[in-house]
Amino acid sequence: MARMPALFIGHGSPMNTLKHNVYTDAWRRIGQILPRPRGILCISAHWFIGATTVTAMPHPRTIHDFHGFPDELFAFDYPAPGLPELAQEVAEVAEPHWVGADIDQWGLDHGTWSVLAHLFPDADIPVVQLSIDAPKPMEYHIDLGARLAPLRDAGILILSSGNVVHNLRRIQWNKPEAGEPWAERFDDHVAGLMAEAPGDLLKAMTHPDYAQAVPTPDHFIPLLYIAGLGAVSNEKVAPLIRGHALGSLSMTCYGFGMDACLSPYGLASNWILGH
């Protein structure tokens, strides 16, 4: 089986599930280019708990982990099957880190299904979520991401979902497709690190705009998994989409192992709202 790609998607608002805009249209185009995986392992910003755990149920539920949105969004269902045997595979490659198996608690949260609704709208590919272990240091997540690399050779697409810049307190409703200067500066700095040395991504924490761009780590940590994978791969990590929303959200997406998307006939590295 061919090696599967790895992706980081800047997912933005849950409403992107129901919208057709420049970002969701690009996600759909990426999904059309991707090879069909045996399963998908997703690291979502929205399963941020005190342990490293992977879903192991055959039929994960669709979790509506938000409030204040239209009824249509609460009615949305993404009935993808699970892949219980993948939980054991994740636990094995993660050693010596411990990974638990969740058989009945979680499911698929909106960080996962808001993106998969466009990448794989038929919901016919098995999906498993890996939690973010909140108390662990940042270095742990890069290391664990690197340890997931063998799964790509076993037909598993690794998908991280978060945002490079995510500051809901600095939202600018009058800037639906633009970023504040500080958000753009930090996003550009991260893009440089991902292109040159993804294993050094934690250097971004010393950037003067880090505190504003990453007031809480939950949405930034999913990128660390792709950085760890990229550090042990010979493939170039490249931005698939560049852009911002509402002043304080980065919609930038990264991927590698999908050369067709980076050709002149696929998605250029600055195809969407680039610089």
Tens-place pLDDT, residues 144-158: 999 999 999 999 999
- Judge whether residue 141 has pLDDT over 70: yes
Q: For tokens 């307190």, what's the residue?
A: 169
Dihedral sign, CA of 150, 153, 155, 161?
positive
% residues pLDDT > 70 (the chain): 93
Contact 233, 182 (CB under 8 A): no
Average confidence (pLDDT) over 173-183: 93
Q: How far apart are CA 166 and CA 245, in angstroms?
A: 10
Contact 245, 176 (CB under 8 A): yes
Q: What is the pLDDT of residue 65?
A: 87
- Judge whether residue 89 has pLDDT over 70: yes
On whether the 6-262 domain is CATH 3.40.830.10, my answer is: yes
Average confidence (pLDDT) over 51-63: 97
Would you list the domain boundaries of the chain?
Answer: 6-262
Q: How far apart are CA 52 and CA 141, in angstroms?
A: 10
pTM of the model: 0.93
CA angle, 91 then 40 then 117, to 5°: 145
Contacts of 117 (CB under 8 A, 6+ apart): 17, 76, 78
- Amino acid type, 238: A
pLDDT greater at residue 14 or residue 112:
112
Tokens of 170: 């600095």
- Amino acid type, 33: I
Which of 172, 230, 252 has its CA nearest to residue 5? 230
> Could you report the per-residue pLDDT of 181-212, keeping only the tens digit for each?
999 999 999 999 999 999 999 999 999 999 99
pLDDT band at 139 (very low <50, low <70, confident <90, very high): very high
Average confidence (pLDDT) over 201-227: 98
Q: How far apart are CA 165 and CA 167, in angstroms?
A: 7
pLDDT band at 115 (very low <50, low <70, confident <90, very high): very high
Contact 232, 146 (CB under 8 A): yes
